[in-house]
Amino acid sequence: MVSFDSTAYKAQLNVWGKDKDLVKKLKSIAEKLQRNPSSTAYASANLMSLYAVDPSWSASDLASHRLELAKVLRPIKKPIVKQGLEPVLEALGKTHFDNPSFWLNLDSLRQQEVAQTRKDFVKFLLADPSMAYSAISRKELYESFKAQGVPGAEFQSYEKELQNNGVNIFERKLADDAESFSIPGGVASSWKDARNRGVFNSIFDVLLLHVAQNERRQLSFYSNLAYGTTAITTDTIQKADQRATTASDSNEVQIAHKILAALKNEVKSNSELRLVVFKIFEEYVQKKLQRNELGAAVANDLVDLGINQADANILLSLLATTGSGQRINGLNRTVEHLQKGELGSAQQTFSSVDPNTAEPDEYARIEKILDTQIEKKKQLLEAYKTALGAKKLEEARQAIAGAQRLDTEDDSLRGKVEAIPPEPAGNLTVSISANSAVLNWAKSASSDISYTVVRKTGGASSSPVDGEVIAKNIGALTAEDKNPTIATTVFYTVFAERTGQFSEAASTKAEAYPQPANFTVQATSSTSIHAVWTVAVEASSTTVEVFDSRGNSIHQVTTSDSKLLLDSLITGEKYTVTLVANYVSSSGTVASAAIQASSVPREKSDPVTGVDYTINNSEIQLEWSSLPPGYSTEAWILPLHDNGMDFGDIVTAEQLTAAGGRRAALISQRESNGKTYYTMKAHRGILRVYPLVLVESGYLVGDYVSSGVIEPAKNVTVEYFNNIIKLAWEWTGDTRQMELAWLDSQGYSQRELVTLASYRRNGGAIIQGRNISNLTIAATTKVDGETIISAPASIPLKQDNKIEISYEQKIKSGGLFSKPSTSITARSFNGYQGSVPVSLCLSLNPYVPLDANSCLALDRFALDFSASDVATYSFEIPKTAIPKGTKQFWLVLFPQDPESVKIDQPHTSQLRG
Amino acid sequence: MFNLFSKKEVPCPFCYQTIGLAKVAFRCNGRGVPGRPACQKTADPALVANFNNSKPYYPVIGTQEGGAPLLTKESASCTQCGSNSNIRLCPTCHSQLPLSFNADSPMFGLVGVRNSGKTVLLSVMHKELKDSVGRRFNSSIDNPGGSEGLARELQENEEAMLTAGRLPEQTRVRSGKQAPAVYEWRYTKSNGKLTSSIFSFYDNAGETVSRVDSAMDQAYLAASSGVILLLDPFSFPSNKERGQEINALPVGVDSPESVLDAITHALSHGKNLKRGKKIDVPIAVVVTKIDAFFSEMADNNPIFTIPAHQPVYDDLDGQTVHDYVASLIDSWGGSASIRKLNETFSNYRFFAVSALGEQPEYGTDRLGKGGVRSLRVTDPILWLMAERGFINKVGK
């Protein structure tokens, strides 16, 4: 017998009756069961509890319980009974209710039902615009649950379902706290300054100044303030600030230092620091949203700044739902699809957006973008078809690849791209010699191409395996055949390949008729030259022709030999020998291209010796013993250091240039009395000059001279100190010493050699005394034991025509019956005889007066030097001039006319009273 | 004779920690006694920790088995190889103490804000000390134990300025200390007796003195027997705008008053000064980069007088320059700094120096075409040495 407390059950009915949602649900179940008895809609309600059923009951227990229930329910008129429990009980009937397995299965069915309901609800929630950023505060979520009738016990399972769908559920506390929080003044102004200057991407760049750029990842400020798993705290500010003080000084570092100092002073806790960072990002996002930027784009910006996606979404969800940046979910997703190249999905998503609820401008804008993309894809497909028809394969490929980029989801496009073969190699050329045939072709517009080169006689290859493969799958745009067939026509064919697809053939025909090789012509005496060469074994003969210096042919012969001696020639005349190799081919005799070489019949020359030179500012004249007839010389200028060229060496122009050499600028050359006189332009600096003999194989090295014009001192500056003149200049070239010359105050000539070392030691050159004249400077240097000196350059000296006097002063303190006084003994310089108007000035300031304007003139008088170079003066200082209690005063003599008189002041101990 | 009043404790010229001269550490000389294996050179952890110097050295006697250094006065026998060594070391940083190092060896601190020209001045001073000052006083002024740490850096800076014509790089704050530039000045007195003095300089990055808390960290200030304080003339109110125009003054440079405050704070704490007492450490207040103002000064301004090359310090000349520099500072709006010095220091003197002789190109850090042409750079150190009585003073 089952136990059923009907009184308690009736009391429970009162509780259930108040739950209008439950009444509605039961009513809905009853209707569904009535329409379809096999419906499992009943699983959405907890029938076991509603009908007080124990799942362990037998069929008879259940049957008796059903009857008992019906009895209890019948007299009750409440909607929960009349619209819910009774109709459902009836619809379940005996079949379900009395069946123990029905109740056993009900639980799992119910779980499924609840799960489905949850999923539906989550789907519904996700479609809400407020979920555009897949983030919602727990507070708002629970309010939504309540509004939608989700039972409180199921909040957590619903929350989990949302999280499984990628929704970030966060606490609002930080955002709420931030509402009443303001960024402290110093931080706000220094950050504003940094932002205006565009120095930092985000505040994290400042906080993490001490952290390497590549470690500033996964930045977060909402759930916690951190980078990666490392928390950012007030200690972090200290570390960053330490870095700011050690980093190389720059504007960025200075600005960071200011921000960090403000943070250190004004932010006292980690939670306050988190609020500061949050507020900074809040302002950043709000500004962007106010500029009508798309929320998704703003979130992407945050992620680009290194902020983790969750925090970016949280911030956007907070601001976009409360601020002006709200966007329709579907529009955002459409844009996202377009950005990912998912044209199909974008179309589908856009079609699901209700234009009546979407922001009209935004809807129109995105619709236009979508239409443009669709049109663009269409045009690209058209272009592909046209190009393919015209066999413009690369163009077709570019078009279809472009369409593929627009719509990555369209699988048919991928197949089309792969099916297009590469274009054949363009501009194929071949250059052929006895030992090599070199093929070149143009670069393909496509980068993923390799090439196979095939050689064949009798006709072009039709496929990459038709003929002898010269190169296979090469990326280069050139190939070499090292065994070309001589005197036979061969075909070279190039096939381009991309992922197994070969292009059409590109072929060229080549016939190898190599020139003679190893060709030299040398003088064997003052009237003969000897030519030697080799030809390919396939050559039948060689045609030799000799020309004189005017281009007249003086000899021609066809020979099977490989050498020729020519004599009875004119000494010193230049002869040019031309060779052509002859081949017999199927089309007759074919001549190779010509090759030529020259020589001058002459005796063997020795290198130039006994070189001497004279120099003036603009020219150098070299002289040496004349060479045998038929030789010419060329002067080359090389640096002073060892260049590896020894007497008797033969060098080429390239070697000379590589050694830093250059041809001298020849002005004139003449022969006289067995001597060659060679005049060339003088060069700056001391360098080696080599007169080189031109021989067949290059230049014959002989003696050289070191010469040139030494660089004078540059940027000479003169500084006048009280008792000395200091000279400074820029040292140039190889100059290591300078010669200074001047006339001293007595008119005696003085000279001083200043080495670079002494210049550095003394910080310039020092000349004692100031009354000097005719100062000159000349650079000197010693090369190969010889001293070379530049022309002395005059150094202008300041014309100081001022009358110069000095003085000594004794100040006496006043006594009870005497006034303070001063006595001055002045001395004139340079024999000045006359009077000098001066002022005796008094200053009560703590600091010595630097000119007459900063003190009071007590007396104006003239120092008289007419009879002697010493003048004296005494003065009683009125007591009224120095107030009582004055601890110190200054008495200084200044000229009345500073433009014409200079007074050297004594030590300040004589000026202080 | 035993001097009852001589100091027994003195700051190490390298790490500035106080050491008792009767209890110094010793480094093994590596010779060993017959029958026992000689000690091997390894990196000295104290040198590594203090100065990032990881060169191998013979061990500090007593530390071979992980123990503490054996501390004694004249010499010590190596506990491992048995050799007798008189190579004295600072027990803290293990730097080798120069032979003439004694309780009277002065320590001079060189301080100045960022960009005041410390490194350039020190580099030129390094050259002048070894060269012109050495010749003028017929002395040998050298870095005992060779050029290491700052001394080596100064040597390199000198090379860079003289041969490559460029300014030294700006000094950075270091995580570990850099060995200071230690100098040994030796000369023979007129009575034929050899006398010597050890003094050392530390080049700090300017930013560490511009704030009070950082200046406190500078142990060397507390240990200093004299301070050379560098002031950038462009940091005075009347010259700021001009300094910024020619890129000579970076944004945010501290005022001379704030630097003085920081130094005052550090010195009064370091020396445990009582309230109301003036600091008696001599302070040479040096206006650097005076060449930038040459054109505004009269030809016969005493600053332009080249001191006579006599082996004495001319105090009359020094006092005159002091008065003229004070007047210049006043004209630049810096009288507050002078008053602050008056109130705080019982012995200070102004100097005006030019390390380079003309303004470099501040943007490119290139020197002028004429190279280094210093003016009066050694005046401050000579004054400090004269104040200690190491060199003679005339004209008082």
Which pLDDT score is estimated for A871?
92
- Tokens matching residue A813: 């303190």
In the three-class reduction of DSSP (H, G, I as helix; E, B as strand; rest coil), residue A268 is classed as coil
CB–CB of A846 and B305 under 8 A? no
Calculate helix-pair angle for A270-290, A234-246, nearest 10 degrees: 80
Strand B226-231 relative to strand B283-287: parallel, antiparallel, unpaired? parallel
Q: Return the H-helix or E-strand segment holding A824.
A: strand A821-828
Nearest by Cα to A688 from A645, A717, A740:
A645
Chain B residues with CB under 8 Å of A715 CB are 369-370
- Tokens matching residue B217: 């960290």
Say how many C-beta atoms besides its own lie within 10 A of residue B283's C-beta.
27
Over residues A783-797, the pLDDT tens digits come to: 777 777 777 888 988
Per-residue pLDDT, averaged over A94-117, amounts to: 83
CA distance B17 to chain A (A): 24
Distance of CA A495 to the CA centre of its chain: 40
Per-residue pLDDT, averaged over A711-721, amounts to: 82
Cβ–Cβ contact B296 with A under 8 A:
no
Q: Could you give the angle at the alpha carbon of B95 between the alpha carbons of B90 and B101, nearest 5°? A: 65
Q: Are A532 and A520 in contact (CB under 8 A)?
A: yes
pTM, rounded to two decimals:
0.51
- Each as own residue / partner, the long-range contacts of residues A564-568 (CB below 8 Å, 24 or more positions apart, any chain) are A564/A530, A564/A531, A565/A524, A565/A528, A565/A529, A565/A530, A565/A531, A566/A528, A566/A529, A566/A530, A566/A531, A567/A525, A567/A527, A567/A528, A568/A527, A568/A528
- Tokens matching residue B364: 């490119």
- CA–CA gap between residue A266 and residue A186 (Å, rounded): 7
Q: What is the DSSP string of A528-587?
A: -EEEEEE--TTEEEEEEEEE-TTS-EEEEEEESSSEEEE-SPPTT--EEEEEEEEEEETT
Q: Return the H-helix or E-strand segment holding A635.
A: strand A633-638
CB–CB of A728 and B304 under 8 A? no
Strand A724-730 relative to strand A765-768: parallel, antiparallel, unpaired? antiparallel
Q: Are B171 and B116 in contact (CB under 8 A)?
A: no
Q: How far is CA A82 from CA A26, A76, A131, A892, in A?
A: 10, 8, 40, 121
CB-based contacts of A604, cutoff 8 Å, min separation 6:
A628
CB–CB of A908 and B320 under 8 A? yes
Over residues A174-204, the pLDDT tens digits come to: 888 888 888 888 888 888 878 877 778 889 9
Whether the per-residue pLDDT at A218 is higher than 90: the answer is no
- CA–CA gap between residue A713 and residue B100 (Å, rounded): 46
CB–CB of A848 and B323 under 8 A? yes
Nearest by Cα to B246 from B233, B230, B231:
B233
Nearest by Cα to B230 from B45, B388, B355, B390:
B355
- CA–CA gap between residue A715 and residue A735 (Å, rounded): 15
- Going residue by residue through chain B (396 aa), what tens digit of pLDDT does each one get? 334 344 567 888 888 788 888 889 999 988 878 888 888 888 888 888 877 788 889 999 988 777 778 888 888 888 888 888 989 999 988 988 888 787 777 878 777 776 677 788 888 888 888 888 888 888 888 887 666 677 777 888 877 787 777 777 655 545 556 677 888 888 887 777 788 888 877 766 555 555 544 444 466 677 788 888 888 888 888 887 777 666 665 555 667 777 788 778 778 777 777 777 888 889 999 999 898 888 888 878 888 887 777 889 999 999 999 999 999 999 998 888 899 899 889 999 999 999 888 877 766 677 777 788 888 999 999 999 999 888 888 886
Task: Find tokens 């007492």 and name the residue.
Answer: B277
Q: Could you give the angle at the alpha carbon of A659 between the alpha carbons of A657 and A663, nearest 5°? A: 40
CA distance A807 to chain B (A): 13
Cβ–Cβ contact B363 with A under 8 A:
no
Cβ–Cβ contact B371 with A under 8 A:
yes
CB-based contacts of A186, cutoff 8 Å, min separation 6:
A261, A262, A265, A266
Cβ–Cβ contact A249 with B under 8 A:
yes
Q: Are A333 and A350 in contact (CB under 8 A)?
A: no
Q: Are B229 and B131 in contact (CB under 8 A)?
A: no
Nearest by Cα to A619 from A635, A608, A632, A642:
A635
Over residues A797-814, the pLDDT tens digits come to: 877 778 889 999 999 877
Calculate helix-pair angle for A393-406, A411-419, nearest 10 degrees: 160
Cβ–Cβ contact B129 with A under 8 A:
no
Which pLDDT score is estimated for A317?
84
Complex prediction ipTM = 0.80
Ramachandran assignment for A387, one of left (phi > 0), alpha (psi -120 to 50 degrees), beta (any other): alpha
Chain A residues with CB under 8 Å of B253 CB are none
Which pLDDT score is estimated for A434?
66
- Length of chain B, in residues: 396
DSSP E strand boundaries for chain B = 9-11, 18-20, 25-27, 42-43, 56-57, 76-77, 84-85, 87-89, 108-112, 140-142, 181-188, 194-201, 226-231, 283-287, 313-314, 348-352, 393-394
CA distance A162 to chain B (A): 51
Residue A707 exposure: Cα atoms within 13 Å on the Cβ side: 24
Residue B242 has φ and ψ, to the nearest 5°, of -60, -40
- Tokens matching residue A894: 């200044």
Cβ–Cβ contact B300 with A under 8 A:
yes
Strand order through the sheet with A890-895: A856-864, A835-843, A890-895
Calculate helix-pair angle for B335-344, B315-331, nearest 10 degrees: 130
Q: Are A249 and B250 in contact (CB under 8 A)?
A: yes
Least confident segment among A452-456, A681-685, B30-34, B269-273: B269-273
